[in-house]
Amino acid sequence: MRNLLTLCIFLLAFGANAQLVWSPDEPIGVGTSDMTEITVDIQVTNTGTTEETFFWQVEQKDGPAPWQIVVCDNNLCYSPGILACPCNDPNVLAAGATMTFMVKIKPKDTAGEGVVQLKVTTDCEGSDLLFETPVDFTVEMVSSVNDESIITDMNVYPNPAIDYFQLSNDDKVATIAIFSIVGQEIERFDHFPNQAYSVNNLNNGLYLVRTYDVDGNLLKAIRLSKR
């Protein structure tokens, strides 16, 4: 009986601990090389019953050297190149509360694909891990299309897609390609107005749909969710 009581007390104490969860599971950022910055929002929620104090670190695992990383946490937005939370200014998240990490890159007119690893820990040294996640960035060269409204208004629908998707405002599109979030091309099609594309052969998850004009210039890269 005493052992059982001890076990119950331990389980209750364990259940009261703070716990951080984040979304989306696979954060990605898509943009073009002329953008000042490309931002990915990561929602972090304390699902436990106690306050959590934590620190963060970021590291560019892959991608062009000119890219600069910027992080905004619950306290402030840091200058480019600051890759860790100051030890004297940790983040504090109350039980049940949610905050937004903003992980950004400044592409500096440089196209490419890269990964920024976000690591969140209970200690400033980074040894007691709470969670970590890769943030994937895809930066395309600037399109030569002069009518910016074409690029702005173009989109995929329905999104999330279950059986198929189509493009809106697709008059200038000659080709589309579907990529995984790590940059692997999965399929490529010649495009015709109002054409629908089956997604039945895709696993559930996130993809990038890239659209190109007749000269092969990228018009837009659009995130697609398959369910």
What does the mean pLDDT of the chain come to? 85
**Predicted confidence band of residue 217 (pLDDT cuts 50, 70, 90):** confident
Give the total residue count for the chain: 227
**Predicted confidence band of residue 15 (pLDDT cuts 50, 70, 90):** very low
Contacts of 76 by beta carbon, 8 Å cutoff, 6+ apart = none
CATH, range 148-226: 2.60.40
Question: What would the mean pLDDT of 196-205 be, rounded to a whole number?
Answer: 93
**Residue 153: what pLDDT?**
81
Q: Could you tell me which of 154, 189, 146, 152 has the C-alpha nearest to residue 171? A: 154
Q: pLDDT (tens digit, 9 = 90+) per residue, 118-155?
A: 999 999 999 999 999 999 998 877 655 545 555 668 89
Tell me how far apart the alpha carbons of residues 76 and 213 are, in angstroms, rounded to a whole number.
41
pLDDT at 4 over 60: no
**Residue 8: what pLDDT?**
42
pLDDT at 201 over 70: yes
Tell me how far apart the alpha carbons of residues 220 and 208 are, in angstroms, rounded to a whole number.
10
Question: What would the mean pLDDT of 8-27 be, rounded to a whole number?
Answer: 63
Q: pLDDT (tens digit, 9 = 90+) per residue, 52-100?
A: 999 999 999 988 999 999 999 999 999 998 999 999 999 999 999 999 9
Question: What would the mean pLDDT of 30-55 be, rounded to a whole number?
Answer: 90
Question: What would the mean pLDDT of 37-59 be, rounded to a whole number?
Answer: 94
Tell me how far apart the alpha carbons of residues 201 and 199 are, in angstroms, rounded to a whole number.
5
Question: What would the mean pLDDT of 42-48 be, rounded to a whole number?
Answer: 94
**Residue 216: what pLDDT?**
84
Question: What would the mean pLDDT of 170-199 be, rounded to a whole number?
Answer: 89
DSSP for 60-120, written as a single string: EEES-TT-EEEEE-SS-BPPTT--B--TTS-EEE-TT-EEEEEEEEE-TT--EEEEEEEEE
Percentage of the chain beyond pLDDT 90 is 58
Domain ranges within the chain, ordered by starting residue: 21-140, 148-226
Q: Could you tell me which of 138, 140, 134 has the C-alpha nearest to residue 59? A: 134
CATH, range 21-140: 2.60.40.3450
Q: Give this prediction's pTM.
A: 0.63
Q: Which helix H or strand E contains 5, and what residues bound it?
A: helix 2-15
